[in-house]
Amino acid sequence: MTSVSTQPVHWDLRYDIHLGTTWSRFMDGLRDRRILANKCPECARVFVPPQAYCESCYVATDEWLELPPEGILEVYTVAWLGFRGGPTPPYAIGGIRLDGASTLLMHWLVGPDFSDPASIGSRLPFGSRVRAVWAAERTGQILDIAHFQPVAD
């Protein structure tokens, strides 16, 4: 008989994350189908999601602007294996450079068939243009953008 070496335990904790004024404004924008960004007055980089300070210049980033819901898909991965409580695989997550942004916005990509590992690169090449698809019901959260999809040529 093998000895008893483990005992199962379970955690289920709920938290409220405090957004702060910068991310609150971003979330308010998403609810209104607007993608709000802000800009560093020193280096002129445009942050989306916005951030209160520029960590390169150590100054407040208080100039706001609205970005178009469209940009370049710079990189993505297709998740073949997920995890408990997560989305059902396969699903694709990309880093999208919205037109005018200096940072990447991470989000889901929907449209191409990602079921064949061998063909994903040809179905959606890096550098493709993608556009945000808004959720029908929006409550002020990142999934108010339902996902991004390729822009038809």
Partner 1 sequence: MAYRAAVVGVGMTPATSPRKQEFSTAELCRQAVHAALAHCGADPRTLDAVVIGNIDGFEGTVLGGKSLTRQLGIGPDLPVVVLNTGGTTGGNLMQVAARMVRAGTHRRVLCVGGPTFFGAEDLQAAINTNSPMIIEQPLGMGAYHMGAFAASAYQARFGVDATDLAAVAVADHAKALKNPNAHLRYEVTVDDVLAARPLSSPLTQAMVCPVSTSAVAMIVGDPDEHDLATAPALIRAMGTSSDPYLGGGKGDFSQMQNLATLARRVYALADVRAPRREFDVVEVFAPYVHMQPMQLEALQLAEPGEGVALIRSGDRVLAVNPSGGPKCTNAGVAGELAPYAYAALQVMGDAPPELQVEGVRKALAHGTGGTFFQFENLAVFEALDSVSSGSTS
- The residues that touch partner 1, with contacts defined as CB under 8 A, are 3, 5-6, 8-9, 11, 17, 19, 23, 47, 49, 51, 55, 74-87, 91, 93, 95, 102-108, 117, 120, 126, 141-143
Residue 150 to residue 152: CA distance in whole angstroms: 6
- Would you say 78 or 152 has its CB closer to partner 1? 78
CB of 8 to partner 1, least distance (A): 8
Residue 60 to residue 51: CA distance in whole angstroms: 9
143 and 110 Cβ atoms separated by less than 8 Å: no
CB of 58 to partner 1, least distance (A): 13
- Would you say 41 or 87 has its CB closer to partner 1? 87
Terminal C-alpha separation, the chain: 66
Q: How many CB atoms lie within 10 A of CB 125?
A: 10
CB of 152 to partner 1, least distance (A): 23
Structure tokens at 47: 């942050």
